[in-house]
Amino acid sequence: MGERLLMKGNEVIAEAAIRAGCRHYFGYPITPQTEIAHYMAKKMPKVGGVFLQAESEVSAINMVYGAASTGKRVMTSSSSPGISLKQEGISYASGAQLPAVIVNIMRGGPGLGGIQPSQSDYFQATKGGGHGDYHLIVLAPSSVQELYELTVDAFNLADQYRMVAMILGDGVLGQMMEVVNFRDEEPIVKADKSWAASGHGMKREHNTVTSIHLDPAVLEQWNIALQDKYKTISEKEQRFELYKCDDAEIIIVAYGSVARIAKNVVQVAREEGIKVGLLRPITLWPFPTKAFEQVIDKPNAFLTVEMSSGQMLEDVMLAVKGRKPVHFTGRMGGMIPKVDDIMAKIREIRAD
Amino acid sequence: MAVVFDRPHALVDIPMHYCPGCTHGIAHRLVAEALDELDIEGRTVGVSSVGCSYNNYFYFNCDMIQAAHGRAPAVATGVKRSLPDNIVFTYQGDGDLAAIGTAEIVHAAARGENITVIFINNTIYGMTSGQMAPTTLLNQVTTTTPYGRDAKEHGNPIRVCEMLSTLKGPAYIERASLHDIKNIKKAKEAVKKAFKVQMAGKGFSLVELLSTCPTNWGLDPLESLDRVKNEMMEYYPLGVFAGKDLEV
Ligand SMILES: Cc1ncc(C[n+]2csc(CCOP(=O)(O)OP(=O)(O)O)c2C)c(N)n1
Ligand code: SF4
Ligand SMILES: [Mg+2]
């Protein structure tokens, strides 16, 4: 049995990264994720690692780009406005096929917005965010235990597919304290890093890490290779949880901390005699379309619940493909949907 | 027969794409010679920037990383912090380093990051066809200062070596010029010293090289060399700005 500790979400992300073999962290302070940096600043020197407070998120992501280019496991974390600044570097890292882990503990936007939890960066995380045709692997934990496990997985997936993996959380998860069961040893995937720019020692041809290909024919081939990789990931890496969907007349679709509220709704509704289930995407990209195929026949309707204006809603509609009605309810700006609000929406759907 | 002059091993044997009379090629050669003479090619990682030299990863034989516009010092920081025993350099133009990348270069210098920066000052944005750079001289005509750079309108040119030498971080900063053989020899010593400073773990080193851009200056190669000597050196005096007494 591994250690069992009561920890704050943000600290667990940092601890998980270190356990996953990450020894390089570059960041810039922003609420509500700064505890990640605090933890790294304390721990990294003790494990022979590097914590560096950059002059901006732009610099932090480019330090990540540099460290990743050498083949090292590297992470940065931020919250919404800082993640916007990182988009340039994320696009370059995606173009150069660099593995890295980026954490976004979302807060309300747009602009400087607020510091309360939100899920309004879903589009940015899953549809590209920066320029160019690319994707990130986007993992959406829903508990502190999952913050731990998915952070470790993010490093493995990033290395395995040579791409950026993002942990998309929100202020609720980052700030929440829960018990975590740590493993004695992490399942670390050893990936080929022979492409890395780490000094050839006069023993091989020189390696180049780059995202530029001025010949359009070459750039198209590069893009085709990226898209092929994304297709493989879409087929192999979809993750989701189905909770009481077998007999559900309404299936709620929710991720992250909202999925926890939705689980309560499932209980409350069932006590009232309304059969509600929960489909919880764990990978937001690739979006778990397979989950919808498993449950599509049973429910009368789907209800998407988000802390946004309805961003994941678009992917839900694409997955449902018009076969069942898809409803939406959500809050914005840092407001959290309540069980009562969601129950009211469920009653409204049933009355229709 | 004894070979007295050859291509440095650290320079790949392919034609470069630079315009006739452009000094980027000379600067590359100086860097490559330093890597050869210090026997560090195998443990060097270079960082290319965005400008005419964006693809010098084709030319340098060491491992290379292409960075976003202005971000090379941050990328180099990430590399150096990952591989502290390797030698890391950036190669940046004046638009790249002194405009879009100002924050990155200032903070890498302030941290005393143990990297070497090769800074090509040609008072213009070469790659994008001759726009004003932060280093463009007063009255200089560029495609975005068609009536000449005017201090009131565009501000005064930035002197990077002087600015960075106000910081405590840099171990060694020198400005040299590529306009004639004598100065190229001095530039070579400066570049080599910058790498030696890094090898000795002394901290941040930067060499500014006054360079030509005949194409966007509208001058022929020889006129361009004269312009460096007669116009640029007046505003950008050569010399050591940090680490004068540093022995390595
Ligand atoms: C983010 C971004 N903005 C603008 C550009 C366009 N751009 C490419 S090179 C360049 C100027 C480079 O000038 P300099 O650094 O002086 O290099 P030189 O070509 O003179 O050697 C610009 C603005 C870019 N590639 N990326
Ligand atoms: S445009 Fe100017 S800087 Fe660029 S290669 Fe030509 S001469 Fe050199
Ligand atoms: Mg220039």
| Ligand 1 atom index nearest CA of B99 | 15
Candidates A161, A130, A134; CA nearest to A235 is A161
Predicted local distance difference test score (pLDDT) of residue B2: 86
Pair A133, A223: CB distance under 8 Å:
yes
Domain parsing of chain A, residue ranges? 4-236, 241-351
ipTM of the predicted structure?
0.97
Chain B touched by A52 (CB under 8 Å): yes
Angstrom distance (rounded) from CA B80 to CA A268 = 55
**Nearest C-alpha of chain B: how many angstroms from A202?**
5
Would the pLDDT of B1 be above 80?
no
Measured between alpha carbons, how far is B193 from B205 in angstroms, rounded to an integer?
A: 9
**Any residues with CB less than 8 A from the CB of B109 and at least 6 apart, and which?**
B73, B164, B167, B169, B170, B204, B206
User: What's the DSSP call for residue A306?
Assistant: E
Cβ contact (<8 Å) for A208 and B64?
A: yes
Domains A4-236 and A241-351 share a fold: yes
For residue range A131-147, list pLDDT tens digits in order.
999 999 999 999 999 99
Mutate which of A209, A211, A213, A219 to disrupt the B interface (most B C-beta within 10 Å)?
A209
Residues A194-211 have a mean pLDDT of 98
pLDDT digits (tens, 9 = 90+) for B72-107: 999 999 999 999 999 999 999 999 999 999 999 999
Fold for domain A241-351?
A: Rossmann fold (3.40.50)
Query: A65 to chain B, minimum CA–CA distance in Å?
Result: 6
Residue A36 CA to ligand 3 center (angstroms) comes to 39
Q: Quick: pLDDT tens for A269-328.
A: 999 999 999 999 999 999 999 999 999 999 999 999 999 999 999 999 999 999 999 999
**Residue B5: what pLDDT?**
87
Strands B205-210 and A240-243, by their bridges, are unpaired
**C-alpha–C-alpha distance, residues A40 and A38, integer Å:** 5
* Ligand 1 close to Cβ of residue B133 (< 6 A): yes
> For strand B239-242 and strand B205-210, is the pairing parallel, antiparallel, or unpaired?
unpaired
Q: Compute the distance from residue B124 Cα to the ligand 3 centre, in Å.
A: 4
Tell me what percent of the residues of chain B surpass a pLDDT of 90: 98
Residue B63: which of A52, A207, A211 has the nearest Cβ?
A207
Residue A65: its chain B contacts at CB < 8 A? 65, 67-68, 71, 74-75, 78
A37 pLDDT band (50/70/90 cuts)?
A: very high
What is the rounded average pLDDT of the residues A48-53? Answer: 98
Nearest C-alpha to atom 2 of ligand 2 is from which residue?
A: B213
Domain ranges of chain B: 24-242
User: In this complex, is the C-beta atom of A66 within 8 Å of any C-beta atom belonging to chain B?
Assistant: yes
- The answer to whether residues B230 and B183 touch, using CB atoms and an 8 Å cutoff, is no
Mean pLDDT of chain B: 97
Q: What is the pLDDT of residues B49-74, one digit of tens each?
A: 999 999 999 999 999 999 999 999 99
The answer on pLDDT for A2 being more than 90 is no
Residue B180 distance to chain A (closest CA, Å): 32
A4-236: CATH homologous superfamily?
Answer: Thiamin diphosphate (ThDP)-binding fold, Pyr/PP domains (3.40.50.970)
CATH topology for the B24-242 domain: Rossmann fold (3.40.50)
